[in-house]
């Protein structure tokens, strides 16, 4: 994986979890916070960490913020600081600005000031929890559009020991099998002869309702 540079502004729970994961993955990560205590935290291990107020243009310039590949605005409750920071970053020519929104309106303003990717962590997590409760066999999913998903499904017990041809996912549910996950092995583009064992997971692409129907076969 090529090394990219990231600056994470706001080292609360959200910002710190992003920064730590990126650092663990071998990326160059600068942590930024207005609060000295957050930066002095002995457990903080990042490439660099600096105390500064991200609403001050000169401070951002002094660390060469525009040279980072990605800047993540993970400021918590101070909506004004978050919006002003995103605006400054885009004005200064930062290529990719990712910003956390507290609510829908905040998200809309962040988009208006030019944020490239706006994240709604609480709303998105809530939706994921509801999805998981409604379809316990679904382990993971990606929304491709309002209708289509890619979902990783725990194979319903009734259909184990069948192969994909017998399952006939395309004709019965209009679904495409993308992969079969068997312990740690991933079989991409599985052949029609691929047998599904108990405990395997199937990754399918298709209409959400059809996936739901398949995932809930008794």
Nearer to ligand ADP, 76 or 114 (CB): 76
Under the binding rule (CB under 6 A), the answer on residue 200 touching ligand ADP is no
Instruction: Count other C-beta atoms under 10 Å from residue 42's C-beta.
Output: 5
C-alpha angle 173-184-195 in degrees, rounded to nearest 5: 40
Under the binding rule (CB under 6 A), the answer on residue 138 touching ligand ADP is no
Nearer to ligand ADP, 19 or 155 (CB): 19
Q: Is 130 helix (H, G, I), strand (E, B) or coil?
A: helix
Q: Could you say which of 21, 25, 35, 176 contacts ligand ADP (CB under 6 A)?
A: 35
Under the binding rule (CB under 6 A), the answer on residue 2 touching ligand ADP is no
Q: Could you say which of 44, 47, 76, 216 contacts ligand ADP (CB under 6 A)?
A: 76
d(CA 67, CA 55): 18
Sign of CA dihedral 147, 148, 152, 157: positive
Q: Could you say which of 54, 137, 149, 212 contacts ligand ADP (CB under 6 A)?
A: 54
Q: Is 61 helix (H, G, I), strand (E, B) or coil?
A: helix
Instruction: Count other C-beta atoms under 10 Å from residue 6's C-beta.
Output: 22
Nearer to ligand ADP, 28 or 53 (CB): 53
Structure tokens at 118: 């706006």
Under the binding rule (CB under 6 A), the answer on residue 77 touching ligand ADP is yes
Under the binding rule (CB under 6 A), the answer on residue 80 touching ligand ADP is no
Structure tokens at 52: 């500064």
CB of 127 to ligand ADP, least distance (A): 19
Which residues contact ligand ADP by CB under 6 A? 9-15, 32-35, 38, 53-55, 75-78, 81
């Amino acid at each position: 994986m090529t090394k990219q540079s990231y600056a994470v502004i706001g080292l609360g729970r959200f910002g710190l979890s992003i920064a730590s994961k990126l650092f663990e993955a071998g990326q160059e990560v600068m942590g930024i916070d207005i609060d000295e205590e957050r930066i002095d935290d002995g457990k903080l291990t990042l490439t660099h960490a600096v105390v500064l107020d991200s609403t001050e243009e000169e401070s951002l310039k002094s660390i060469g913020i525009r040279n980072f590949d990605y800047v993540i605005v993970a400021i918590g409750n101070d909506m004004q600081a978050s919006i002003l920071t995103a605006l400054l970053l885009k004005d200064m020519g930062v290529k990719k600005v990712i910003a956390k929104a507290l609510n829908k309106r905040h998200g809309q303003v962040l988009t208006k000031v030019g944020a490239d990717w706006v994240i709604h962590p609480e709303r998105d997590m809530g939706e994921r929890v509801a999805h998981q409760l409604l379809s316990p066999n679904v382990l993971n999913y990606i929304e491709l559009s309002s209708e289509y998903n890619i979902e990783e499904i725990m194979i319903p017990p009734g259909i184990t020991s069948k192969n994909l041809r017998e399952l006939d996912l395309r004709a019965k549910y209009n679904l495409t099998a993308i992969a079969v996950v068997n312990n740690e092995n991933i079989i991409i583009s599985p052949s029609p002869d691929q047998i599904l064992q108990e405990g395997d997971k199937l990754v399918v692409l298709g209409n959400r309702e059809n996936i739901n129907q398949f995932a809930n076969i008794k």
